[in-house]
Chain A
């Protein structure tokens, strides 16, 4: 009987194939910046992929925050002038600033 033998070349090929099937279909997560200026979230509507990162940056002189609409999912800390806050986003969400409830934004996860 002849035993099954893999040459080093075959092994590396196999490894490469495994790597490809495991990682290739996933695109690299992106970072999206939402600027808060002149009392607005800019852009007010943003389309992202699950696992992307949002960065909120406050460019106003007054403090703001970003609060998920239902108030139960996520909420940034108070962002003073110049502060920023990042979060990974997995679900579509409408959000607002709890200090200025007429300031609103939306993130759609596709």
Chain B
């Protein structure tokens, strides 16, 4: 596994799940997540980033951070809309599961931590978390959700969002560098 360099809880949370679940999947075992569960995780992962961005809109005064947050809201909403349209078309009802639950628990801890901060300290913590979160989500999508998807269209949708996640990661890293220079 790469991208375990981050010490935040995302690394210990999702990546552990990815490691546990992806290993048997890559050995051609029967999938551990149904498509209904994959769809649920995908929607939750996007919703978490929207919620964190709304928190940034409330607490940040940094123009570049606010613009980044707006992009996260717009893009992740667009992804959720595509995912929702697809599951409706496929007649699948997203189903809650342990991976989604873990994501939500970790997100709640992150939100709690971010709410204790303001000003420049908030900006740094938010952006650092965005870097770690996108790294973790890219790993989860590539190593868990894509291999676990049986439906081709669902897999196609997941594959098509990786470049956006990658761009968000680079954007967050760019902001991180700018904030550290100050």
Interface residues of A (CB under 8 A from B): 38-40, 60-63, 81, 98-103
CB of A60 within 8 A of CB of B174, answer no
Interface residues of B (CB under 8 A from A): 67, 70-71, 74-75, 78-79, 82, 160-161, 163-164, 166-168, 170-171, 174
Known: A99-B71, A100-B71, A101-B174. A61 touches B167 (CB 8 A): no
CB of A102 within 8 A of CB of B170, answer yes
Shortest beta-carbon distance from B127 to chain A in Å: 14
List 14 additional contacts besides A62-B74, A98-B67, A101-B171; criterion CB under 8 Å: A39-B166, A40-B163, A61-B160, A61-B161, A61-B164, A62-B78, A63-B75, A63-B78, A99-B67, A99-B70, A99-B71, A99-B74, A100-B171, A102-B174
Instruction: Give chain A's interface secondary structure class.
Output: loop
CB of B71 within 8 A of CB of A61, answer no
A60 and B170 CA atoms in complex are apart in Å by 18
Per CB-CB distance, the 8 closest pairs between chain A and chain B, nearest first, are A38-B163, A39-B167, A62-B75, A102-B170, A39-B163, A99-B71, A62-B78, A100-B167
